[in-house]
Amino acid sequence: MVIFLSSGMTGKLSQELIAGGYKADTPAAIVYKASWPDEKVVHCTVGTLAEAAAANNISNLALITVGGFLGNEYERSELYNPGFSHGFRQASIAKEAAK
């Protein structure tokens, strides 16, 4: 999930996410000034959003990302896997070698 316009109320956001079913240890990140030369990414959890924002003086110009895709548990997309064939491209190497 990507949340815009909430970096000034991370404490409330954290509470609402937890009340809505997210666990406090769900990975999150605060992306300050995304795509700007001074972009900053702060990795935290849903439960530590407010502390992470305060520690990094972030209260505006940021988006917040939340979810398992930020953690270590995810499946790699086959789309760019050189061992995966699809309608527009044949595999360039054996699928077993691509893993």
**What is the predicted pLDDT for the residue at 96?**
56
Domain boundaries, the chain: 2-66, 75-99
Measured CA to CA, the distance from residue 26 to residue 4 in angstroms comes to: 18
d(C-alpha 90, C-alpha 16), whole Å? 46
Express each pLDDT in 23-67 by its tens digit.
999 999 999 999 999 999 999 999 999 999 999 999 999 999 999
Looking at the DSSP bridge assignments, the partners of residue 63 are 31
Q: Other C-beta atoms within 10 Å of 80: how many?
A: 8
Residue 99 pLDDT exceeds 60: no
User: Token pair for residue 77?
Assistant: 């997309």
The whole model's pTM is what? 0.72
* Tens-place pLDDT, residues 16-25: 999 999 999 9
CATH architecture of 2-66: 2-Layer Sandwich (3.30)
Give residue 42's pLDDT.
96
